[in-house]
Structure 1
Amino acid sequence: MSEDDIIYAVLLILGIAFGHFYRKINDADIKKVVGTIFGLVIVFYTSGIQSLHIFISFFVCFIIIKLDQRRCHLICFWFMMIYLLFFRMTGIIGLTSPGGHTNMIQMILTLKIIGFAFEKNTVVTKLIEAEKKGEKIGLTDCEKEIRNSSFFDIFHYCFNYIGLLTGPYFTYRTFYDYLYYPFYKHADCWIATMQKLAWVPLYATLFLITSYIWPSEYLHTTEFYESRSFIYRLFYVWPTFFIFRMRIYIGITLAESICINAGLGCYPKVLEAKCGHGPSTAITKEIVDSTEKHEYEFDTIESVDVMNVEKCWTFREAMKHWNKCVQYWLAMYVYKRFPSKKYRVMATMAVSAYWHGILPGHYFCILGPIVYLPVEDILLKVLKSDDPNTQKVFNIITWISKFFAFSYLGTAFVLRDVRKIWHYYGSVYHFGYFFWLALYLISMLFYMLKKKAQKRAPKDTDKKEN
């Protein structure tokens, strides 16, 4: 582990421990200040002078939100996306490149400040449309605060220590609910945190063992390309992506545990809270008055459903369980609002790749599903059987295909540099892309034959009856 990794892990663990005391603060105003002070300590410790990027981008967006409530969401979106590009290219133009921790804070800030601008625009638009119709509508307390938000309201939301370093993304509404509703006081946050953390030793052990046997750095050596066989080089995508997954699982589990131990994202099950979004139904006075009677869950801040990622059969389904809070943000503020339905998916994936970084590996990996998903879709139509035992075999085949696709594309994310990616893919003769093309054509052929056989079946039955 590098020094940055150790600092990252220590800060996350401190955040988890701090939550035990933080959730006991009852006064919302004090809670805001204490959480923000701890958040600012993290920012200055990890970023130093580079924290100027973080604060400059925040201040500009705050001014935009205050000056233009009708278009603040669009202006903030484009400003933050352009600033991300500048932020990541500072090394190229002769400035000091921000470190990895600063990059993560800037990425999360981008989601939060843009998300808040969209939330504010939604409230303002709701009022304007009602005014046009001559109607009077009542706003919830949260909507009133969003509409009349002060500098410090937004600042506390963006710089509270919870979710600051690596997420998960949560809306302003979730933050407001956390401050002003007593749900977390009636949930056993400590037990829920321990249940979440119980998996970390397993992920860490698997990470260390696999890293020792198949180190990712080996991909960068001359020996790997000159002394190893084609089969070995192709096989290496599996442990490389496995190490990457375990690393992500450790970080995200620790980040989720910060939220859980602090009590953020805790809702009664009857509210049917969704990942990233929060409650699907309104929080009524009856629910608040009966907080002791409810069961509670933390689905709002669950970023990765590890078990479903690992055991689900298909690539498409696994994507739904991966980085769910960011996917919610992308769905709400990119996919659903993109003007062209035809290009929505491509635009959403392009924004996702851009948000992750500007290196070619991010695009090879995150845009790669556009190539693979049509292959999987036709393969699933072919590998479909009424016999349960045969279907189990087919499911295993699609599971292997899913993880090969994840691993092959994920290796580009690890290598990042276009020359290294091309060198590796060239060393395995771009097997993945040619294999998927062949698989698509063969599957399409079998699917057409299968459809013809199904059309002939009724005719053959009629002949036999006659």
Structure 2
Amino acid sequence: MEIGLNEIIYYFSLLICMSLGSYYRKIDDIETKRNYGAGLGILTACLICGFQIYHCVLMVWGNVVIIKCSDKRYVHHLSMAYTWTYLIYMYYYAATSQYVIWLHQAMALKLVGLAFEINNHDKRTNPNRPPMPNNTMTSGDNQVMTTEPTAVDIITYSFFFIGIHKGPYYRWKTFESHFSEPFATLGDCRVITMQKLKKVALCSMGFLLLSTRYSAKYYNADSFYRDHNTDYRFLYNIPLLVMFFLQNQMVMALSTAVCTEAGFGVYPAKCNPLPGHGPSEHTSFMNVVTAETALAEEYNFGMLKCFENGKLLLGPKMKDTLRSWDMPTVYWFWINIYKNMSKTNKETRSACSYLAWTLWCGADLQHFILAATLWVYVNLELEFSGIFNTARQMKRLPWEIGFSLMRILCLIYLTPCVIIKDTSVFLRYYNSIYWIYHWFLLGSIIVAIALQKLLN
């Protein structure tokens, strides 16, 4: 495996932020703490982006103008249109490395998420707007902003060193309350950080061992298509899928280790913190807690949880895998895209969520095929679950085993969508295996339609 300068800089900056996080946690003055976090984040962005740091500035200042000057009824639409367009421009014309894209993606979620929060705040507090229907309420969303963020607040939130590398996403409400709550200095953060570093060490060992034998560059070689049959070309995706999984585990573990070492994202267990959202129950406790009562609480870092590996690896259905992967980001698309389209049906809402995710990841053919395939698969999975629904465990078990096998085969089949960057190589690979799983999905659609007609 070749390690370039961009990789060294990226992982070095993660370790620097982690080591300086312990000093950040000891700062008592709120203003100093905010300036320290924002300054370290700006230096980190400069280190990763280099001369391209002006793209960060343009993205942030464009959103500052939109958020401060636009009509609150449309601020989230304008912010998303501007930011997503800038991401597409970065992906095709400006970014020099994947790490620059990751940084801008993390900023995009925070900036557009803030615009959505401001729009929701206006819905709840502006008497000239119709009241929100009850079915749009979600856990903890009855909280409103205490103050509307200033331009300096938006810049601080965007560049803050926590979560600037890649995930986990956290709301403005979470960021705002972080400076006034006593939990950051009380939770056993160092123990959690060490656990994450041990996980990184194990994942990196597995990744390095696999990378000595398997490489995505082999997809480019003529011998890969000349010397091996279709079965080998399909099964070659398995070690690459494992490597992709291990790399994401490493990056997210290091990113969340920055949070835990800084004392960010720690909440009492009784508040049931959710990934990306923060506390979802007993939120009134957050307003009355004191340092003395906080000492008696049990804590967890559920808000920073990125992977639910039990469901990710063993969940029988694809929806379990998708909900257990990069959970704070999944929460963002669920709460801001899916839930904000309550007047449309579920299929349309999920399609719009997948489309928004595709444009956020990178508007190329690989991501479009990945998103479209997953959308079709999840809806087919739901359709067949309804047709063969049974309450008896022994009758349901064979279907769950079948769903699990089909899910694994689908993930193996889709691995090149996230591994191969060159579109011509990507198409050559799928042509060499005859787009076999897509033909299977087409057959499944025909069978589902036929079964629905027979049952009705």
Q: TM-score, normalised by structure 1?
A: 0.86
- Evaluate the alpha carbon distance shift between residue 336 and residue 221 of structure 1 in structure 2; reply closer, same or farther with a 3 A threshold: same
- Evaluate the alpha carbon distance shift between residue 340 and residue 384 of structure 1 in structure 2; reply closer, same or farther with a 3 A threshold: closer
CA contact (8 A) 1:69 1:121 kept: no
Question: Pick from 89, 94, 105: which aligns with 2:103?
Answer: 105
AA paired with 2:207? F
Let me know the Cα RMSD of the aligned residues: 2.7
AA paired with 1:49? F
Q: Which moved more, 1:286-295 or 1:328-337?
A: 286-295
- Evaluate the alpha carbon distance shift between residue 216 and residue 393 of structure 1 in structure 2; reply closer, same or farther with a 3 A threshold: farther
Q: Which residue of 1 aligns with 2:45?
A: 43
Aligned positions of 1:385-424 closer than 5 A = 394-424=399-429
> Matched residues in 1 for 2:275 and 2:310: separation?
16
Q: 1:375 Cα deviation (Å)?
A: 3.6
Q: 1:131 Cα deviation (Å)?
A: 9.3
- Evaluate the alpha carbon distance shift between residue 316 and residue 107 of structure 1 in structure 2; reply closer, same or farther with a 3 A threshold: same
1:268-314: CA deviation from partner (whole Å, max 9, x where unpaired)? 11112221111113243443451111111111122222333112221
> Matched residues in 1 for 2:151 and 2:389: separation?
57
Q: Which residue of 2 aligns with 1:270?
A: 270
Q: Which residue of 2 aligns with 1:57?
A: 59
> Matched residues in 2 for 1:383 and 1:212: separation?
45
Q: Which moved more, 1:25-34 or 1:276-285?
A: 276-285
Q: Which residue of 2 aligns with 1:347?
A: 352
The count of residues paired between Structure 1 and Structure 2 equals 438
Q: 1:191 Cα deviation (Å)?
A: 0.7
- Evaluate the alpha carbon distance shift between residue 106 and residue 441 of structure 1 in structure 2; reply closer, same or farther with a 3 A threshold: same
- Evaluate the alpha carbon distance shift between residue 173 and residue 220 of structure 1 in structure 2; reply closer, same or farther with a 3 A threshold: same
Higher Rg: 1
Question: Pick from 34, 42, 45: which aligns with 1:32?
Answer: 34
AA paired with 1:116? L
Counterpart check, 1:303 vs 2:301: no
Report the secondary structure of 2:407's partner residue.
helix
Aligned positions of 1:426-465 closer than 5 A = 426-439=431-444, 441=446
- Evaluate the alpha carbon distance shift between residue 118 and residue 444 of structure 1 in structure 2; reply closer, same or farther with a 3 A threshold: closer
> Matched residues in 2 for 1:224 and 1:322: separation?
31
Counterpart check, 1:123 vs 2:125: no
CA contact (8 A) 2:167 2:255 kept: yes
CA contact (8 A) 1:69 1:124 kept: no
Q: Which residue of 1 aligns with 2:195?
A: 195
Q: Which residue of 2 aligns with 1:210?
A: 210
Counterpart check, 1:292 vs 2:291: no
AA paired with 2:419? V
Q: Which residue of 1 aligns with 2:134?
A: none
1:294-338: CA deviation from partner (whole Å, max 9, x where unpaired)? 111111122222333112221111111111111111112211223
Q: Any stretches of 5+ residues in structure 2 without a counterpart? A: 132-141
Q: 1:157 Cα deviation (Å)?
A: 1.0
AA paired with 1:12? L
AA paired with 2:117? E
AA paired with 1:427? S
Report the secondary structure of 1:89's partner residue.
helix
Q: Percent of aligned positions with the same letter in both sequences? A: 23
Q: 1:130 Cα deviation (Å)?
A: 7.8
Q: Any stretches of 5+ residues in structure 1 without a counterpart? A: 92-96, 134-139, 453-466
> Matched residues in 1 for 2:249 and 2:440: separation?
29
Q: Which residue of 2 aligns with 1:11?
A: 13
> Matched residues in 2 for 1:231 and 1:16: separation?
44
> Matched residues in 2 for 1:217 and 1:131: separation?
55
AA paired with 1:254? L
CA contact (8 A) 2:123 2:129 kept: no
> Matched residues in 2 for 1:228 and 1:272: separation?
51
Q: Which moved more, 1:301-310 or 1:32-41?
A: 301-310
- Evaluate the alpha carbon distance shift between residue 287 and residue 37 of structure 1 in structure 2; reply closer, same or farther with a 3 A threshold: same
CA contact (8 A) 1:335 1:347 kept: yes
Q: TM-score, normalised by structure 2?
A: 0.88
Q: Which residue of 1 aligns with 2:173?
A: 173
> Matched residues in 2 for 1:379 and 1:130: separation?
46
CA contact (8 A) 1:313 1:398 kept: yes
AA paired with 1:408? Y
> Matched residues in 1 for 2:306 and 2:92: separation?
28
